[in-house]
Structure 1
């Protein structure tokens, strides 16, 4: 059972970094730091969008319009942190 919990925590950690990478990539793309016509850049951006958008879309629907500022990645990171800490402090000790 501990192996399952460790695998879930590892998946949450990987998703955490994918959300941060997606946010940074969107800033680089918005400010024309990266070349959008480059095939590698496009495929990385497409991958990050497809991985993170299903989790960010419901949060964006709930949040009010903040005038171009998207805080949905921050909200999602807080949710992931809460779930991770809940698993490590409540679920894991109960199984040991």
Structure 2
């Protein structure tokens, strides 16, 4: 019973991380086309991604040859976090 609940919560966390990774990818692609900054969707994507970018930019340099690598670094961090959480949840459910 408890294993099923933990597994379900793990699935939700995995799904949320996947959605956030896609938001980061869409936000990175939007920087190439310069969309209307007053568009509500653009504002939401900016508000969802910019705090994470700011945290990454505080801890390490992210701009190399004019290219901001903060989205790539964030995606890698999220992927590692996803793998760790899935393995931890599997260990709790199976162990």
TM-score range, shorter chain: 0.7 to 0.9
Residue 45 of structure 1: how far off its partner (Å): 1.3
Residue 75 of structure 1: how far off its partner (Å): 0.5
* RMSD, aligned α-carbons: 1.7
TM-score (norm 1): 0.80
Say if 2:13 is the partner of 1:8.
yes
Which consecutive residues of structure 1, in runs of 5 or more, have no partner in the other structure? Answer: none
Which consecutive residues of structure 2, in runs of 5 or more, have no partner in the other structure? Answer: 1-5
Higher relative contact order (Cα pairs below 8 Å, separated by 6+ residues): 2
Partner of 2:92: 94
TM-score (norm 2): 0.81
Partner of 2:80: 82
1:58 to 55, 59, 62: 55
Partner of 2:46: 49
Count of matched residue pairs: 88
Q: Give, in whole Å, the separation in 1 of the partners of 2:45 and 2:69.
A: 17
Q: Determine which structure has the larger strand proportion and give its number.
A: 2
